[in-house]
Each structure stands twice: as C-alpha cells, then as structure tokens.
Amino acid sequence: MRRRTLLHGAALGSVVGLAGCTDLLAPDNAEWANDLRVENERDDPATVEILVEREAGEQVASERVDLGPDGEWELEDLVEFGTYDLIISVDGGEPVQKSWSASGCTQTTVVAVPGGVEFGYVTC
C-alpha cells in the first residue's frame, strides 16, 4: 500500500509540475518567439542592413538600423516557424548570408564586429 501512495504522489507531482507547459510551446506565446537582435560591438557607429527571406525568396522583413558603439536593436516575433535566409550588410559592405531555422523559441543575434559580422543563436 505504501508503494501505491508513493507512486500516486510522484505521478501527481509530475502532472502539477507540467501544468501549463503545453502553452509555452505554442507559437503565439510571447515568451516563445523568434526574435532578431542586432548588436554593434565596434568602437564606431555602424549601419546594419537586414533582409529576411523565406527559402523561396519571399521577403519577410527589410530593415536598416543605425547603431552607435555598443548599440543594440531588437525585432520581436519576427517570423513563424520555418527556415529563412538572413542577408546582412554592415556599412554598405559585402552582404553575408546565413540560414535561420526558426523551429522553437530562438533569438538570433547579428553582431557587427571589427572586420565583419558574427551570428549567435540562443534558445529559450
């Protein structure tokens, strides 16, 4: 009998611990989004041009952002789940292209650094 009580308590604790978690996986939940963040880690200002396209070439977003040294900018809830191409140009330089797979909660960071662009991904 003690074993059943223990198993019942463990099962109940698991269910209570997971209550509401399915809502976190929903694409429309503000905390589970696909955001794009742009940072300037250079000592001088930077103009960052951002183009986001679906793999089929459909344009999703196009932005031009002027950032001071150590400046940052963020576009929240940019895309739905799927695969996209990020095309980034800093100060009119050669564009850099990167594939972005938005399949859950992700924040993609584009960083202007001396001599180029770096990409980072953080999952929630």
Please tell me whether residues 108 and 87 are part of one structural domain. Answer: yes
The per-residue pLDDT for 26 is 40
Residues 43 and 16 in one domain: no
Q: Give the residue-averaged pLDDT of 11-40.
A: 53
* CATH, residue 94: 2.60.40.180
Domain count, the chain: 2
73 pLDDT more than 70: yes
Region 12-32 average pLDDT: 41
Regarding whether 51 and 80 lie in a shared domain, the answer is yes
Burial class (CB in 10 A: 0-12, 13-18, 19+), 10: exposed
Helix (H, G, I), strand (E, B) or coil at 6: helix
19 lies in which domain range?
A: 1-27
Cβ–Cβ < 8 Å for 62, 97: no
Residue 27 in this model has a pLDDT that exceeds 80:
no
pLDDT of 74 above 60: yes
Same domain, 37 and 20: no
Question: What's the predicted TM-score (pTM) here?
Answer: 0.68
Whether 83 and 100 share a structural domain: yes
Report d(CA 99, CA 3) in Å as an integer.
Answer: 52
Whether 71 and 20 share a structural domain: no
Q: What is the pLDDT of residue 33?
A: 63
Supply φ then ψ for residue 8, to 5 degrees: -60, -45
- What residues form DSSP beta bridges with 83? 101
Residues 87 and 116 in one domain: yes
- Does residue 46 have a pLDDT over 50? yes
CA atoms of 27 and 53, how far apart (whole Å)? 19
